[in-house]
A = this chain, B = another copy of it.
Amino acid sequence: MQTVYILSGPAGVGKSTTSKALVRALKNSAYISGDYVSHMHVNGRQKPWESKFELSLIWNNILSLTQNFVSNGIDVVIDYVTFPDDAYWLRDRLKELNVNVVYTVLWVDPETLISRDQLRPPEHQMGKRCLILIEEFKESGLKNNHLLDTSQKSVDAINLVIEEIMNNKQYRIAD
């Protein structure tokens, strides 16, 4: 039985680093970057947070890739800012493939997020945009069992974070 991991959270929370480490911890695994899939559409692209059409295109592409990987016995890690509605939509469309869907929203308190952001090279700093996404997640109807707070954890603890995501069943979306 394959597992599809959706790693979400506000920008700057460590989604990519954690996703890449998770994909390397799995035996047969694929990595889908939602940002990359989003930018496959070049000319005519709308910002997905302003266009339902664009967001739907992105999620249909992520779904198709996920279906192909899972059908071939490959676990999937999706690295994308994913709100609960999108995660449940994906789970519903994967039902016939009989997979586990794990939805983990990485979380840090705003102070930690800003201090981590300031450690980045200036051209990669997100500034106040980090905080806007925190608010959007708070208003998204996200249930607490999908939250994984890494505020107190150092970057060295990434292996513990991955073990938690892989083994703690609280992050699974129930059928």
| Chain A interface residues toward B at CB < 8 A | 23-24, 26-32, 36, 40-44, 53, 57, 60-61, 64-65, 67-69, 72, 74
Residues of B within 8 A of A28 (CB): 43-44
CA distance A123 to B61 in the complex (A): 33
Contact B44 A40 (CB under 8 A): no
Among B27, B40, B57, B72, contact of A31 (Cβ-Cβ < 8 Å): B40
Question: Shortest distance in angstroms between A7's beta carbon and chain B's nearest beta carbon?
Answer: 14
Among B32, B57, B60, contact of A40 (Cβ-Cβ < 8 Å): B32
Question: Shortest distance in angstroms between A8's beta carbon and chain B's nearest beta carbon?
Answer: 18
Q: Which residue, of A29, A44, A69, has the highest number of chain B Cβ atoms within 10 A? A: A44
Question: Shortest distance in angstroms between A128's beta carbon and chain B's nearest beta carbon?
Answer: 31
A44 with B69: in contact, given A36-B36, A64-B64 (CB under 8 Å)? Answer: no
CA distance A169 to B33 in the complex (A): 36
Contact A74 B24 (CB under 8 A): no
CA distance A41 to B68 in the complex (A): 11
Among B29, B65, B74, contact of A65 (Cβ-Cβ < 8 Å): B65
CA distance A118 to B67 in the complex (A): 41
Contact B43 A65 (CB under 8 A): no
Contact B68 A64 (CB under 8 A): yes
Question: Shortest distance in angstroms between A42's beta carbon and chain B's nearest beta carbon?
Answer: 5
Residues of B within 8 A of A29 (CB): 41-44
Q: Considering only CB atoms, which chain B residue lies closest to A25 in the complex? A: B43
Question: Shortest distance in angstroms between A61's beta carbon and chain B's nearest beta carbon?
Answer: 5
CA distance A69 to B37 in the complex (A): 11
Give the 8 A-B residue pairs with the shortest CB-CB distance, closest first: A28-B44, A64-B64, A29-B43, A30-B41, A23-B42, A30-B40, A60-B68, A61-B68
